[in-house]
């Protein structure tokens, strides 16, 4: 389960975030490319834009559910 205390600093404020346990598998970026991006220097994903539309939210939730390390959080903050 993602830990909001371990959020990577690149995440934009909002409900969704990626914590520092990301293994850079690229799955979330493939599922929801409008929400997740890669931090090239650090080798991990982060939320560059919060999902807004129902379709974007569905993709973000699919990415969260598919994450092999449970690195993506959705805590409503």
Mean pLDDT over residues 33-58, rounded? 97
Q: What is the mean pLDDT of the chain?
A: 96
User: In terms of residue numbers, what domain contains 10?
Assistant: 4-74
For tokens 């914590």, what's the residue? Answer: 19
Q: Could you give the CA distance from residue 62 to residue 68 in angstroms, rounded to a whole number?
A: 12
The total number of structural domains that make up the chain: 1
- What pTM value is reported for the model? 0.94
pLDDT in tens, 13-38: 999 999 999 999 999 999 999 999 99
Q: What is the pLDDT of residue 73?
A: 97
- Give kind and range of the element (H or E) at residue 44: strand 44-47
């Amino acid at each position: 389960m993602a830990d909001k205390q371990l959020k990577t600093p690149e995440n934009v404020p909002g409900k969704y975030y990626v914590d520092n346990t990301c293994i850079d598998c690229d799955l979330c970026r493939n599922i929801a490319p409008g929400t997740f991006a890669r931090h090239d220097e650090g080798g991990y994903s982060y939320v560059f834009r919060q999902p807004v539309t129902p379709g974007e939210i569905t993709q973000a939730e699919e990415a969260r559910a598919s994450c092999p390390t449970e690195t993506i959080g959705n805590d409503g903050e």
